[in-house]
Amino acid sequence: MVFVGFGFLMTFLQRYGFSALGFNFLLAAFGIQWALLMQGWFHSFKDGHILLGVENLINADFCVASVCVAFGAVLGKVSPVQLLIMTFVQVTLFSVNEFMLLNLLLVKDAGGSMTIHTFGAYFGLTVTWILYRRNLEQSKRRQTSVYHSDLFAMIGTLFLWMYWPSFNSAVSYHGDAQHRAALNTYCSLAASVLAAVAVSSAVHRKGRLDMVHIQNATLAGGVGVGTAAEMMLMPYGALLVGGLCGGLSTLGFEFLTPFLESRLRIQDTCGIHNLHGIPGIVGAIVGAVTAACATPDVYGKAGLVHSFDFEGLKQNWTAKTQGKFQIFGLLLTLAVALVGGSVMGLILRLPFWGQAADENCFEDSVYWEPKIGPGL
Residues 6+ apart with CB under 8 A from 62: 112, 115, 116, 171
Cβ atoms of residues 334 and 101 within 8 Å: no
pLDDT of res. 140: 82
Q: Residues 82-111: what's their mean pLDDT? A: 96
- State the Cα–Cα distance between residues 358 and 54, nearest whole angstrom: 43
Which band of pLDDT confidence, cut at 50, 70 and 90, is reported for residue 218?
very high
Q: What is the mean pLDDT of residues 187-193?
A: 98
How many percent of the chain have pLDDT more than 70? 99
For helices 80-99 and 17-43, angle between their N-to-C axes, nearest 10 degrees: 30
> DSSP secondary structure string, 10-63?
TTTSTT-HHHHHHHHHHHHHHHHHHHHHHHHHHHSEETTEE---HHHHHHHHHH
- Higher per-residue pLDDT: 338 or 358: 338
141-151: average pLDDT: 92
- Check pLDDT > 70 for residue 372: no
Q: Give me the long-range contacts of 342-345 (CB less than 8 A, separation at least 24).
A: 342/126, 342/130, 343/89, 344/85, 344/86, 344/89, 344/90, 344/123, 344/126, 344/127, 344/130, 345/126, 345/127, 345/128, 345/129, 345/130, 345/131
Give the tens place of pLDDT for each residue, 339-368.
999 999 999 999 888 888 989 899 999 999
Residues 223 and 275 sit within 8 Å (Cβ to Cβ) = yes
Q: Which pLDDT score is estimated for 64?
A: 97
In the chain the first and final C-alpha atoms are separated, in Å, by 30
The yes-or-no verdict on residue 165 having pLDDT over 80 is: yes
Looking at residue 214, its pLDDT comes to: 97
Does residue 374 register a pLDDT over 60?
no
Mean pLDDT of 222-226: 97
Q: What is the pLDDT of residues 304-332, one digit of tens each?
A: 999 999 998 899 999 999 999 999 999 99
Give the Cα separation of 244 and 238 in Å (integer).
Answer: 10
Domain spans, the chain: 3-354
Q: How far apart are CA 100 and CA 3, in angstroms?
A: 28
Q: What is the mean pLDDT of residues 30-56?
A: 94
Average pLDDT of the chain, as a whole number: 94
Say if residue 376's pLDDT is above 80. Answer: no
Q: Residue 373 pLDDT > 70, yes or no?
A: no
- For domain 3-354, give its CATH number from 1.10.3430.10, 1.50.10.10, 1.25.40.80, 3.30.70.20: 1.10.3430.10
Asked if the model's pLDDT at residue 73 lies above 70, the reply is yes
- Looking at residue 149, its pLDDT comes to 95
pLDDT band at 370 (very low <50, low <70, confident <90, very high): confident
Q: Mean pLDDT across the stretch 163-167?
A: 96
Stretch (H or E) spanning 245: helix 234-251
